[in-house]
Structure 1
Amino acid sequence: MSDDPTPAGGDDTSDREFEMAGETASDPAENGSGDEGVADSVGTDADTERDGADTERADADTESEEAGSPTASHDVELPEDVPEDVAEYERFTKMDRADYDRVNEFLRDRTYITAREWAIARLCADFRTETGVEMTKIGENLPRLVPFMTDTYTPQAVNQARASFEEKVTKAGATFLYGAMSGFYTAEELDETMYEVTEIAKFLLEVEGVDLSVEEELEAEDEISRVMREVREASAEVRGEEVKCPECGHVHETE
């Protein structure tokens, strides 16, 4: 399996287009001409550096995958008997020609997660039973389930990747929520941020195979905007700042 690369320099995330398995999907924040896609080539202009913490995290991820157990199991033959639910699994079919490094690079430019964490977190959600997650099944059939994953994984490796995903989601959520509650941003700026991150999240869902209608997208965006307005108003009250009433538009000073 290709190792997670050290994050490349951040570039403008607005000029990507992805060609996957014969159909085209536009990048979530497309403003300019599109590059080649995840399936063929996703390039990046290394014109700025990530900060030291991101680089160290990337190096740690790479070392973890190179170290062997509990990571990828190299040169292991896939089981001949394919479980029915594995054979019928249709996530990630839009990425049949995708390369792990390209997918990883795309995610690193826009999120905190790696390609393996994304893939395995989705599989853990899809292969959950009443008694738990079928980690052995996921690990043994990983290359069959996700086109850009080329090695089988041990159950420990599957669990490790899932735990890493959950940890990063928690840290990213805390960072974002603090920014939203801190008063550093206006309501309009928060709306812009939410629009950008929502577009990226929707794009990843669409790549996984989720078919979102326009009505569903608009409804989700409206609901997210409403929740974020409530978060901003509640945090302003906590800080004892003036809050504009959404009903009358007047400014009320909080106690």
Structure 2
Amino acid sequence: MDEDGLNVPDSDADPATDSAAGPDSSVGAESDADAASDADTASTEADGTDETDGADGADESSMPGVPDPEPEESDVPEDVQKYARFKKMDGAQYDRVNEFLRDRTYITAREWAIARLCSDFRTETGVEMTKIGENLPELVPFMTDTYTPQAVNQARASFEEKVRKAGATFLYGAMCDFFTAEELDDVMYESTEVAKFLLEVEGVDLSVEEELEAEERISSVMREVREASEELREQDEAESTSED
């Protein structure tokens, strides 16, 4: 478990390790700007099994020719039972996960978890919002409440909006000549390490080839950004010179 209360595998990307566990908390106690959207989340469904009175139940079960009732089957869908993401975070508390993410990204813990679930539970006709919301505590260890489909969709939309705004912010910073090429390389390295760490926590096993391919795609985009930035600056300088 790292200093933020996350149970994760040993990794170069792990900032630090600490056995201290965080205080007990739930998604309802979020302290970030998205807390209001959790007000609509449904509480965990109560146990719906019916029990008969002691005497009547005993008489019925002992009647000859009447088989014993089969144990009630779990109402959790099979694909939910087999879902293996986030298992490395068993025991992690929401607040610690949220703190870790907010220190390194713009997203919250619920946005991170739901964005991944929306990706994994995507079908040809869309995303299974109801299944995700109703089984959220079973799917993600640090999520303790169920969500309505509307709350799931809201968290997904919030994640997408933040990614787009962060991308625009980064590209502007890269193109406005604020950072040197070396500083941009440092930014990209730090961003890549955080992203790889989150993937490892989710249980994604990146091969060396996949990692190198991703880094090459990023480097290619950065080269295009730098070239475009240089062209813009040269054009601006040429226009300024002609006006003089």
> Structure 1 length as normaliser, TM-score?
0.72
Aligned with 2:18 (options 11, 31, 36): 36
Match of 1:211, SS state, is coil
Tell me which structure has the larger Cα radius of gyration: 2
Whole-Å Cα distance in 2 between the matches of residues 202 and 59 of structure 1?
A: 24
Q: In structure 1, what is the equivalent of residue 239 of structure 2?
A: none
RMSD of Structure 2 on Structure 1 (CA): 2.7
Give how far 1:214 is off. 3.1
Give unmatched runs, 5+ long, in structure 2. Answer: 24-30, 49-73, 237-241
Number of aligned residues: 204
Q: In structure 2, what is the equivalent of residue 247 of structure 1?
A: none
Q: 1:109 to 1:237 in 2, by over 3 A?
A: same
Give unmatched runs, 5+ long, in structure 1. Answer: 1-14, 44-57, 243-254
Cα offsets for 1:22-61 (capped at 9, x unmatched): x63336274xxx2426xx5479xxxxxxxxxxxxxx6532
Q: In structure 2, what is the equivalent of residue 77 of structure 1?
A: 46
Q: 1:18 to 1:199 in 2, by over 3 A?
A: farther
Q: In structure 2, what is the equivalent of residue 230 of structure 1?
A: 224
Cα offsets for 1:95-132 (capped at 9, x unmatched): 11111111000001000100000000110111111111
Q: In structure 2, what is the equivalent of residue 180 of structure 1?
A: 174
Whole-Å Cα distance in 1 between the matches of residues 12 and 47 of structure 2?
A: 34
Q: Does the 8 Å CA contact 1:187/1:229 hold for their aligned counterparts?
A: no
Give how far 1:16 is off. 5.2
Match of 2:10, SS state, is strand
Specify the code of the residue in structure 2 equivalent to 1:24. Answer: P
Aligned with 1:60 (options 27, 30, 33): 33
Q: 1:177 to 1:132 in 2, by over 3 A?
A: same
Whole-Å Cα distance in 1 between the matches of residues 81 and 111 of structure 2?
A: 22
Matched, 1:131 2:116: no
Whole-Å Cα distance in 1 between the matches of residues 186 and 223 of structure 2?
A: 13
Whole-Å Cα distance in 2 between the matches of residues 163 and 78 of structure 1?
A: 32
Specify the code of the residue in structure 2 equivalent to 1:125. Answer: S
Higher strand share: 1
Identity of counterpart residues, as a percentage?
Answer: 71
Specify the code of the residue in structure 2 equivalent to 1:227. Answer: V
Cα offsets for 1:70-98 (capped at 9, x unmatched): xx212433784111111111111111111
Q: In structure 2, what is the equivalent of residue 89 of structure 1?
A: 83
Specify the code of the residue in structure 2 equivalent to 1:134. Answer: E
Match of 2:9, SS state, is strand
Q: In structure 1, what is the equivalent of residue 152 of structure 2?
A: 158
Q: In structure 2, what is the equivalent of residue 24 of structure 1?
A: 9
Whole-Å Cα distance in 1 between the matches of residues 208 and 192 of structure 2?
A: 14
| Shift >4 Å, 4+ stretches | 15-19
Match of 2:234, SS state, is coil
Q: Does the 8 Å CA contact 1:36/1:42 hold for their aligned counterparts?
A: no
Whole-Å Cα distance in 2 between the matches of residues 168 and 207 of structure 1?
A: 21
Match of 1:73, SS state, is coil
Matched, 1:207 2:201: yes
